[in-house]
């Protein structure tokens, strides 16, 4: 079976649903097989390229793509593959790292709001404001009284963006613990990838359960109609890419981006000399 399943419907976190990542199969492929998925991905990338061209030309609405996932879940790989569909001019990527002193001197959404896409753009967040209820919660970088209020604050922030013309689509790339071990090992073993590996990754890996709990709560509390979460089974990179590309294309398609009308003074049948 190929393509019979509506991935947007199957992988979406329904608002109010209680998510437990541990209960989901990160190796799921929803009937897809690797051989047929390659051509389907190419078709979705072509579709994405055309949709972006329209969105950019229209310049009236924007799309914000949020990518989250535990270390080695494939955020960079997804950006590399899926975003190749786009003209880079209309597709800014922002990677959120440990906040600078200046960023920490502001509210947690300050640096995020500055990075949201302009009209016509598809903006990609590689990590995001969700780190402020993930790593920040797991390491108690601020007290519970502070981070626990952020779920509502994030919902309000995303609603404001949506009401102002930004369509938000959020992907949580989900791998299981054994897959993370294999990817870390592969990173370590490959001289061209070892630079990505740090001993800190292993310390974070020990906190797997705490991270899962933090993800579960974030996904459960912040999937809304205007900013839904999709949990992407990401053990298999080919399925992850297909799922993200398809859901993103379906989301942008639904916005019906249209080329603007031709200027009034441009006549029909003009032959340029």
Chain residues binding ligand AMP by CB under 6 A are 96-99, 127, 131-132, 135-136, 141
Nearer to ligand AMP, 86 or 197 (CB): 197
Q: How far apart are CA 86 and CA 4, in angstroms?
A: 26
Output 72 or 91, the one with its CB closest to ligand AMP: 72
- Shortest approach of ligand AMP to residue 95 CB, angstroms? 6
Least gap, CB of 64 to ligand AMP (angstroms): 17
CB of 97 to ligand AMP, least distance (A): 4
Nearest to 170 by CA among 238, 112, 257: 112
Which pair of structure tokens corresponds to residue 191? 């001289």
Beta bridge partners of 31: none
Distance in Å, CB of 201 to ligand AMP, minimum: 8
Q: In angstroms, rounded to a whole number, what is the distance separating the alpha carbons of residues 139 and 148?
A: 14
- Identify which of residues 208 and 259 has a Cβ nearer to ligand AMP in the complex: 208
Residue 73 or 247: the one with the smaller Cβ distance to ligand AMP is 73
Q: Which residue, 37 or 82, is less far from ligand AMP as judged by CB? A: 82
**Residue whose beta carbon is closest to ligand AMP:** 131
Q: CA nearest 255: which of 167, 169, 170, 168?
A: 167
**What's the min distance (Å) between Cβ of 134 and ligand AMP?**
7
3-state helix, strand, coil in the chain (%, to 5): 50, 10, 40
Q: What is the rounded CA–CA span in Å between residue 93 and residue 127?
A: 10
Number of CB atoms found within 10 A of residue 168's CB? 23
To ligand AMP, the closest distance from the beta carbon of 46 in angstroms equals 29
* Residue matched to tokens 């920040």: 136
Q: What does the alpha-carbon distance between residue 21 and residue 19 come to, in Å, rounded to a whole number?
A: 6
Dihedral over alpha carbons 237, 241, 247, 250 (to 10 degrees): -150
In the chain the beta strands, taken as DSSP E runs, fall at 62-69, 93-95, 122-126, 166-174, 229-233
The residue count for the chain: 273
Which SS3 state, helix, strand or coil, does residue 117 take? coil
Q: Which is nearer to ligand AMP, 59 or 142 (by Cβ)?
A: 142
Choose between 56 and 184: whose C-beta lies nearer to ligand AMP.
184
In the bound complex, what is the minimum distance in angstroms from residue 132's beta carbon to ligand AMP? 5
């Amino acid at each position: 079976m190929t393509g019979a399943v509506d991935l947007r419907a199957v992988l979406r976190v329904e608002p109010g649903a209680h998510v437990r990542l541990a209960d989901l199969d990160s190796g799921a492929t929803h009937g897809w097989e690797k051989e047929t998925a390659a051509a389907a991905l190419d078709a979705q990338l072509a579709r994405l390229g055309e949709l972006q061209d329209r969105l950019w030309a229209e310049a009236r609405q924007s799309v914000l793509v949020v990518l989250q996932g535990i270390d080695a879940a494939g955020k960079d790989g997804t950006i590399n593959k899926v975003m190749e569909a786009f003209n880079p001019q209309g597709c800014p990527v922002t990677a959120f790292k440990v906040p600078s002193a200046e960023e920490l001197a502001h509210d947690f959404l300050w640096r995020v709001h500055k990075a949201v896409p302009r009209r016509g753009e598809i903006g990609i967040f590689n990590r995001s404001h969700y780190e402020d209820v993930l790593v920040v919660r797991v390491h108690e970088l601020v007290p519970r009284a502070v981070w626990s209020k952020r779920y509502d604050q994030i919902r309000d922030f995303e609603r404001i963006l949506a009401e102002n013309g930004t369509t938000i689509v959020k992907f949580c790339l989900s791998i299981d613990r054994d897959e993370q071990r294999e990817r870390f090992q592969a990173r370590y073993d490959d001289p061209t990838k070892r630079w990505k590996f740090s001993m800190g990754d292993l310390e974070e890996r020990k906190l797997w359960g705490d991270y899962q709990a933090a993800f579960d709560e974030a996904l459960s509390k912040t999937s809304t109609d205007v900013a839904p979460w999709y949990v992407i089974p990401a053990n298999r990179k080919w399925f992850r890419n297909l799922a993200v590309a398809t859901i993103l294309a379906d989301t942008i398609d639904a916005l019906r981006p249209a080329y603007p009308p031709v200027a009034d003074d441009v006549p029909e049948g003009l032959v340029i000399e």
